[in-house]
Amino acid sequence: MGKRMIDGLKNVTAHTLIISGAKDCQCTIGNAEQTRSRGVDLATIVILNQCGHFPWLEKPDETFMVITEFFGDGH
């Protein structure tokens, strides 16, 4: 993640959903946690097991269920 993008994270004030695949080598679970800790305080992180970098392709039912639940909770 570039410095400008990292610096901009502190400006995010919306509830944010981060979906991460447990086997994602490009955007790891650690990256998701860093995103939250660097300023996206209202981030919900969901980890999909047996999933890599493309959860909407690898686990479409689970991915869309998570998204539906997130927005159904009023976010």
Spelled out in words, what is the top-level CATH class assigned to the domain 3-72?
Answer: alpha beta
Tens digit of pLDDT for each residue in 1-57? Answer: 666 777 778 888 889 999 999 999 998 999 899 888 888 888 999 999 999 999 999
Q: In angstroms, rounded to a whole number, what is the distance separating the alpha carbons of residues 24 and 44?
A: 18
Q: In angstroms, rounded to a whole number, what is the distance separating the alpha carbons of residues 34 and 37?
A: 5
Q: What are phi and psi for residue 4, nearest 5 degrees?
A: -65, -40
pTM: 0.83
Q: What are phi and psi for residue 22, nearest 5 degrees?
A: -60, -25
Element (H, E) at 43: strand 43-48
